């Protein structure tokens, strides 16, 4: 199993275990350390020392076109199923969008890895949305059909950003000047947190204060940097607004599940933020949204579990 993001790569060997799955040899590596995906995969496989898999499932932070994908936030990385078979001799290769894999992991997650915000309750056999910020902003839909649920990839994170407060409008103007089109991903991502902090500094003091997103988050959680706290509070509120928008668009009365690379570290902060208020604040549809559950995924490897479910669809834990 390989989860390929714009910044990190996560590898694991998966083994079915009764009705569940065991992940072994879990490894996290930096994408910057490799010239391309094939070099990274070869390096991981070499470390298995003879445990050569005959099947591989790969989740990619990008749309899947035919049998290949080009990473959205690492455009020089192209992954082709045919090339994987030719180079590594895999008998079977599954290539899926990363949030499709994340959605398939939902039935495998124990209750301890889920944290609900708000009082909503899921409607049985209703659509579900899965979304989450990381290097980008991923999203997938889980849609009921006559033969069961169908997972549908989405690029909703690239929809146009919709600011609400004066502060957010000022942020949007600066982002538009820099980038032209301003998507939700421009604010709801690791790079978005860094740019948001920088722009707020420019607005207030006329001087940018570049800082990596992990430092901003750490300073905000420790309460030692007022600008970092404001940045993270704005991030959490905007995440709620976006989640409410997509819940309305999808009719997601089955729930909105939020994962990605950022949320597990910020779960407590988000739970105490304006996230849920902003999720519900949709005028006449406030009550509609108040009934929809929002759930944070706390497990560090849900996408790898979803990849296992791609190869073994009958896996169930919950």
122, 74: one domain: no
157, 8: one domain: no
Residue 318 lies in a domain: no
- The total number of structural domains in the chain stands at 2
Task: For residue 118, give its domain range.
Answer: 110-298
Percentage above 70 pLDDT, the chain: 98
140, 71: one domain: no
Residue 317 lies in a domain: no
The answer on pLDDT for 318 being more than 60 is no
- CATH number of 279's domain: 3.40.367.20
Residues 6 or more apart whose CB falls under 8 angstroms from that of 51 comprise 13, 25
43, 119: one domain: no
Residue 20 lies in a domain: yes
117, 98: one domain: no
* pTM for this prediction: 0.92
* Tokens read off for 42: 């070869």
Span 15-39, pLDDT tens digits = 877 767 788 899 999 999 999 999 9
Span 77-113, pLDDT tens digits = 999 988 888 888 888 889 999 999 999 999 888 899 9
User: Within a 10 A sphere around the Cβ of 48, how many other Cβ atoms?
Assistant: 14
73, 158: one domain: no
259, 160: one domain: yes
Strand order in 68-70's β-sheet?
A: 64-65, 68-70, 78-80
134, 61: one domain: no
80, 211: one domain: no
Question: What would the mean pLDDT of 228-252 be, rounded to a whole number?
Answer: 97
Residue 207 lies in a domain: yes
294, 305: one domain: no
The answer on pLDDT for 317 being more than 50 is no
CA 173 vs CA 74, 106, 161, 165, 238: distances in Å: 26, 37, 11, 12, 16
* Residue bearing the bigger pLDDT, 224 or 280: 280
């Amino acid at each position: 199993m390989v989860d390929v993001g714009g910044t990190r790569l996560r590898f694991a060997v998966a083994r079915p275990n009764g009705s569940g799955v065991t992940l072994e040899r879990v490894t996290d590596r930096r994408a910057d350390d490799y010239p391309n995906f094939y070099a990274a995969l070869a390096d991981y496989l070499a470390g298995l020392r003879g445990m050569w898999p005959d099947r591989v499932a790969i989740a990619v932070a990008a749309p899947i076109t035919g049998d290949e994908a080009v990473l959205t936030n690492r455009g020089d990385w192209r992954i082709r199923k045919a090339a994987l078979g030719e180079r590594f001799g895999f008998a079977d290769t599954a290539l899926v969008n990363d949030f499709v894999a994340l959605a398939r992991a939902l039935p495998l997650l124990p209750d301890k890895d889920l944290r609900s915000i708000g009082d909503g309750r899921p409607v049985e056999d209703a659509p579900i949305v899965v979304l989450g910020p990381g290097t980008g902003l991923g999203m997938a839909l889980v849609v009921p059909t006559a033969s069961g649920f169908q997972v549908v990839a989405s690029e909703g994170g690239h929809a146009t950003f919709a600011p609400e407060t004066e502060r957010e409008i000022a942020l949007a103007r600066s982002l538009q000047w820099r980038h032209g089109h301003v998507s939700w991903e421009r604010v709801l991502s690791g790079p978005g947190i860094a740019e948001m902090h920088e722009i707020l500094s420019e607005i207030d003091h006329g001087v940018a204060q570049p800082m990596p997103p992990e430092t901003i988050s750490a300073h905000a959680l420790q309460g030692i940097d007022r600008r970092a706290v404001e940045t993270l509070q704005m991030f959490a509120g905007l995440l709620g607004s976006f989640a409410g928008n997509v819940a309305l668009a999808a009719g997601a009365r089955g729930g909105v599940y939020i994962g990605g690379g950022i949320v597990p570290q910020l779960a407590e902060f988000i739970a105490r933020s304006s996230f849920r208020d902003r999720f519900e604040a949709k005028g006449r549809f406030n009550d509609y949204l108040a009934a929809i559950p929002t759930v944070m995924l706390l497990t560090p490897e849900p996408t790898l579990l979803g990849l296992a479910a791609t190869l073994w669809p009958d896996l169930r834990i919950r």
